[in-house]
Structure 1
Amino acid sequence: MIWLGIDPGLAIVGWAILEGDETIIPSIVDYGIIETDKKMPTGERLAELETDFVSIIKEFQPDAIAIEMPFFSRQIKAAGGVLQALGVINLVCYREAKLTPFFLHQASWKAHLGNGKATKKEVGEMLQQIFDLPSLPIDDSVDAIAIAYSACCGLRNYITN
């Protein structure tokens, strides 16, 4: 199976493609980030996300998609943009792949790796061990790899969307 993991955002979206199933450690096919310019209008940024996700889905043709469920404190200012980006991503997943993504809580996919409160650097170190890699970039793609890996291993939160 081809898994697409997504760490959503409006400014930066992490994505990762893994191939495998619950019986073996999957392989990392590709990963990266999509960045939008904070100076651009929101609509233009959302259009850029749409274009980039259409390309990713067409290139890799995922069988399943897992997205981190955003958590917002009352003080967060970015919630509106993240939720709009999430709507675009969800739409593209359905329109291009006929897939409804499932959502994973950050604490659950981090706990699946061994520490529910791990920093991004610690997540990267855990993934380096799991996949026997010399290094990984410490950016949002690391979280996307972890999200895809946890989903591939069978983690589900059964969040309705």
Structure 2
Amino acid sequence: MPAPTRPRPAPAADLLPKIIMGVDPGTQIMGYALIEVRGQRVDVLCYDVINMKALGSNHAVKLKRIFDRMLELIDEYLPDELAIEAPFFGVNVQSMLKLGRAQGVAIAAALSRQIPYVEYAPTKVKQSVTGSGNSTKEQVAHMLRQTLKLPPIAEASTFLDATDALAVALCHHYQKGNNATVSGGKSWSNFLTENPERLGASTGAVKKKTPTKL
């Protein structure tokens, strides 16, 4: 008669694999990345970009491309959570609106598959990865290559939006989901409270400035 076996305890919740999708929104190039986390171990599943430069100036076509590609990635990798960078509050209102729509479409794709999302401010992402909220894209990519032991990329400059998305996913892992902005990120009202000198910008009383990326 075989000896009775003791049931094995269930693995700790933090040791169960979790897949995080990171997104760096854009209307010309959108970066995305997927990582698998098990405890402190992080494996990079993929990181790349959605390049929409060839789609012309039709914003609706670009938004549909973002939505369709997001659904393809979600259905392929089955992420548990989405981490997405919050739009930068610049002074070009039209650029902000377009970037906000792109971010909203990416979020909508995740929500359509019942995937929760968290927003992170760009400075928070940079600080989590490099220790400085003022780091450049190149510095973020360099730190990620060291931290995650990524292979060298021949055309690294074309992948900076992808490494930015990877940084967003890694930032979320570092936060362990304990982010106070789960319900919607840094609101416009909060921004104006923290930056009262920008109040005139919302009424168009400042000069336009072209953002670094759309």
Counterpart of 1:3 in structure 2 is 20
User: TM-score of the superposition, structure 1-length normalised?
Assistant: 0.91
- Equivalent residue of 2:175, what SS? coil
Identify which of structures 1 and 2 has the higher relative contact order when contacts are C-alpha pairs closer than 8 Å and 6+ apart.
1
Q: Does 1:142 align with 2:159?
A: no
What is the match of residue 98 of structure 1?
114
Q: 1:75 aligns with which of 88, 92, 102?
A: 92
Give the share of equivalent positions with the same residue, in percent: 26
Number of matched pairs: 159
Counterpart-to-counterpart distance in 1, 2:103 and 2:125: 18
Q: Which moved more, 1:128-137 or 1:140-149?
A: 128-137
The answer to whether 1:158 aligns with 2:180 is yes
Counterpart in the other structure of 2:48: 32
Tell me the residue number matched to 1:17: 34
Aligned partners of 1:131 and 1:11: how far apart in 2? 27
Instruction: Give yes or no for contact 1:103–1:158 (8 Å, CA) kept in 2.
Output: no
- Segments of 5+ residues of structure 1 without an aligned counterpart are none
Matches within 5 A, 1:55-74: 55-74=72-91
Distance 1:48 1:74 in 2: 27
Computing the radius of gyration over CA atoms, which structure comes out larger, 1 or 2?
A: 2
d(CA) in 1 for partners of 2:128, 2:179: 12
Q: What letter matches 1:147 in structure 2?
A: V
**Given the two structures, how large is their TM-score scaled by the length of structure 2?**
0.69
Q: Following TM superposition, by how much is the alpha carbon of 1:28 offset from its aligned partner in structure 2, in angstroms? A: 0.5
For 1:52 and 1:134, the matched residues in 2 are separated by 25
Q: Which amino acid aligns with 2:180?
A: Y
Aligned equivalents of 2:105, 2:151: Cα separation in 1: 34
Distance 1:69 1:58, change over 3 A: same
For 2:137, the equivalent position in structure 1 comes to: 120
> How much has 1:122 moved relative to structure 2?
0.3
Secondary structure of 2:119's aligned partner: strand
Shift in Å, 1:133: 2.5
The one-letter amino acid paired with 1:151 is: H
In structure 1, distance between residues paired with 2:109 and 2:174: 24
Q: Which shifted more, 137-146 or 26-35? A: 137-146
Equivalent of 1:109, from 109, 125, 133? 125
